[in-house]
Amino acid sequence: MKKMKNLLAPLLAVPLILAGCQEESSKEKTQEKKDKVHIVTSFYPRYEFTKNVAGDLAEVDLLIPSSIEPHDWEPTPKDIGNIQQADLFVYDSEYMETWVPDMASSLDSDTILVKASEGISLMDGQEEHEHEHEGEEGEHEESSHEEGEEHEHHHEKDPHVWLSPVLAQKEVMNITNALIEKDPDNEKTYRKNSDDYISQLKELDQQFKNTLSDVPNKEIITQHAAFGYLADEYGLEQVAIAGLSPENEPSPAKLGELKEFAKEHEISTIFFEETASPKVAQTLADEIGADTEVLNTLEGLSEEDQKNGADYISIMNNNLEKLKNALEK
């Protein structure tokens, strides 16, 4: 019996040793995660830009689910808590994440807020409601100021700078500088990662220049006024059906103007966004016998798309191909 116990003792010890190793490995991983810079990013482009700069040196989280339109998203107390626990919070601007100023004033932590569009001159934005019923008198005129106050806090400026590959480079640099300030010991790695990614963005910019410089048509009609910076960069003219919010709907008079514009410029494609209803774009397309096509704003990218290799570069190349096809008809 004693001999049997002696034989069993080493065997019984194996599970205990394995359990101890697993526990130690788990502790090491937890400590490694704690040692990394923790970054929360608002919506998809901020997430991708930050991931490319940070590499394996930071834990980068996406705050706004890719299935949700970020323009009018509001954080829950749990979301605010996640931001407060982060070292850095990367967002676009107060004109996109309109809730950030209020959150910042009440933030009870040392979280560094990184405005990715810092230093970029933003275009003026104009919502569709500002054009509706122009010239009407009476009761509407008296109440228009009050209604305007209700809406104008959202988009005084156009926030969609990331849709210009040139301005995207500036956003990446802002993120890079913030990371280096927080974690100067890893500056060399952050700069290398940043330079590598910016090289890809420069190549993307050159592809846009080469492709769009010779197209015979320069006018595009979009459902959502999201492509102003892209159009400005590459010599195009964006005419939006609605304003900066994809949920806005145009007045009948505005639709009439767009119909005439489309006919005059022989526009054959009406663009809408992947996260918005195509109803208004389809209505205009039906009126003029045009096609509809998705032009991706990258405000959200599903996990499935990301697993399939989709990213900012590939989506923007896809946008370029669609613009080329529409402007060469």
Q: State the DSSP H helix or E strand holding residue 113, giving kind and residue range, or none if neither.
A: strand 112-115
pLDDT grade, residue 4 (50/70/90)? low
Q: Mean per-residue pLDDT for 53-65?
A: 96
Flag whether pLDDT at 276 surpasses 80: no
Give the best-scoring range by mean pLDDT among 152-156, 260-264, 277-281, 315-319.
Answer: 315-319
Classify each residue of 247-270 as buried b or exposed e, where b means 16 or more C-beta atoms within 10 Å of its C-beta: ebbbeeebbeebeeebeeeebbbb
Nearest one of 327, 99, 98, 136 to 227, comparing CA atoms: 327
More confident residue, 162 or 276: 162
pLDDT grade, residue 279 (50/70/90)? confident
Q: Which residues contact 178 (CB under 8 A, 6 or more apart)?
A: 88, 90, 112, 114
Joined together, the tokens standing for residue 21 give 């190793």
Flag whether pLDDT at 243 surpasses 80: no
Cα–Cα distance measured from residue 203 to residue 119, given in angstroms and rounded to the nearest whole number: 23
Residue 127 in contact with residue 243, Cβ under 8 Å?
yes
Joined together, the tokens standing for residue 158 give 């156009």
Q: Would the CA dihedral through 155, 83, 110, 33 be positive or negative?
A: negative
Helix axes 312-327, 187-212, angle to 10 degrees: 10
- The domains located in the chain, with CATH, are 32-125+152-197 (3.40.50.1980), 210-327 (3.40.50.1980)
Flag whether pLDDT at 244 surpasses 70: no
Helix axes 312-327, 44-54, angle to 10 degrees: 130
- Indicate the SS3 state at residue 27: helix
pLDDT in tens, 88-129: 999 999 999 999 999 999 898 899 999 999 999 999 875 443
pLDDT in tens, 187-230: 999 999 999 999 999 999 999 999 999 999 999 999 888 999 99
Flag whether pLDDT at 29 surpasses 90: no
Quickly count helices (H) and strands (E) in the chain: 12, 8
More confident residue, 7 or 140: 7
Residue 202 in contact with residue 169, Cβ under 8 Å?
yes
So what's the pLDDT on residue 146? 41
So what's the pLDDT on residue 216? 93
**First-last CA distance in the chain:** 91
Flag whether pLDDT at 130 surpasses 70: no
**Residue position matching structure tokens 């810079």:** 37
pLDDT in tens, 133-176: 334 333 433 433 344 443 344 458 999 999 999 999 999 999 99
Flag whether pLDDT at 20 surpasses 70: no
So what's the pLDDT on residue 34? 63
pLDDT in tens, 65-78: 887 888 879 999 99
Q: Mean per-residue pLDDT for 10-22?
A: 57
Q: Mean per-residue pLDDT for 28-49?
A: 81
More confident residue, 129 or 85: 85
Classify each residue of 300-323 as buried b or exposed e, where b means 16 or more C-beta atoms within 10 Å of its C-beta: bbeeebeeeebbbbebbeebbebb
The count of residues in the chain is 329
Whole-number average pLDDT of the chain: 84
Residue 70 in contact with residue 299, Cβ under 8 Å?
yes
Joined together, the tokens standing for residue 263 give 């006919």
Joined together, the tokens standing for residue 102 give 């209020």
Encoded amino acid at 228, one letter:
G
Q: pLDDT exceeding 90 applies to what percent of the chain?
A: 61
